[in-house]
Amino acid sequence: AQSVTQPDIHITVSEGASLELRCNYSYGATPYLFWYVQSPGQGLQLLLKYFSGDTLVQGIKGFEAEFKRSQSSFNLRKPSVHWSDAAEYFCAVGPPNTGNQFYFGTGTSLTVIP
Amino acid sequence: GAVVSQHPSRVICKSGTSVKIECRSLDFQATTMFWYRQFPKQSLMLMATSNEGSKATYEQGVEKDKFLINHASLTLSTLTVTSAHPEDSSFYICSARGGQGRFEAFFGQGTRLTVV
């Protein structure tokens, strides 16, 4: 069965510190992996995506993620967090068939301390 | 990236009335649109999947007669909440996939529905 696990419900970091948000997935085929960010009362914005090729992918706002097939993980990282990064982050896995749904993790809420 | 516009962003309606939410893909043709419901501080719960020109596929436990979904064109899907009840108050989000080479989903801004 397809599933996505985000083990950390809530993370607090200081501004300027590094960040890593964890994501593990279970998927029956080669996954397409995504990270989305949601600000309060807003929709979801795509941060980055992995389809194939280089396992380290760069996204917007200085975020990057690394796909590790052996660990079934797709962790999101940022070297230096800004206060504006405070938001909810969702990891998702989806099939290449555009007619099928994504599977979302439960989300990680990020708080940034000045 | 592609743009998905959802309207309205906020709506308040009285119990028993119906409210329609629109989801438009502005610069690509969305072969598939998805409707989600999100409760406070929770993840997205898929309600239904709609393909242009065909009936929507509803997830288990979602009342299809209450949440009417129409995907009349490749750029527009609508969700109508009928006979609204305060329990229907929630945040509803649409997303769209489609277009050549586009595997990611693009999301609307969401609609905050309050039923009073």
pLDDT of residue B97: 83
**Cβ-proximal residues to A37 (8 Å cutoff; 6+ apart), any chain:** A44, A45, A47, A61, A87, A88, A89, A90
Q: Is the pLDDT of residue B46 over 70?
A: yes
Which of A101, A104, A106 faces B49 most closely, judged by CB atoms? A101
Tens of pLDDT, residue by residue over A8-47, are: 999 999 999 999 999 999 887 778 899 999 998 888 999 9
Residue with the bigger pLDDT between B66 and B39: it is B66
In this predicted structure, what is the pLDDT of residue B54?
Answer: 83
Residues with Cβ within 8 Å of residue B112, at least 6 apart in sequence: A41, B9, B10, B11, B91
Name the band, by pLDDT with cuts 50, 70 and 90, for residue B16: very high
Tell me the pLDDT tens digit for each residue of B71-87.
Answer: 888 899 999 999 999 99
pLDDT band at A102 (very low <50, low <70, confident <90, very high): confident
8 Å CB contact of A46 and B1: yes
Nearest Cα of chain A lies from the Cα of B74 at a distance, in angstroms, of: 13
Contact flag A45-B109 (C-beta cutoff 8 Å): no
Query: Is there a contact between B107 and A96 if contact means CB atoms under 8 Å apart?
Result: no
What pLDDT digit, counting tens, does each position of A60-88 carry? Answer: 999 999 999 999 999 999 999 999 999 99
- Give the mean pLDDT of A89-96: 86
pLDDT for residue A52: 85
Model confidence at B101, pLDDT cuts 50, 70, 90, reads: low
Instruction: Classify each residue of B17-56 as buried b or exposed e, where b means 16 or more C-beta atoms within 10 Å of its C-beta.
Output: eebebbbbbeebebbbbbbbbbeeeebbbbbbbbbbeeeb
Look up residue B26 and give its two tokens: 């502005």
State mean pLDDT over B80-101: 89
Query: To the nearest whole number, what is the mean pLDDT of chain B?
Result: 90
- The pLDDT score that the predictor gives to residue B57 is 92
Q: Which residue matches tokens 């065909």?
A: B54
CB-CB: which of A34, A43, A109 is closest to B93? A43
Q: Does A49 touch chain B (CB under 8 A)?
A: yes
> pLDDT grade, residue A95 (50/70/90)?
confident
Q: Does the pLDDT value for residue A96 go beyond 80?
A: no
Band of the pLDDT at B99, cuts 50, 70, 90?
Answer: low
Between B34 and A94, the more confident residue is B34
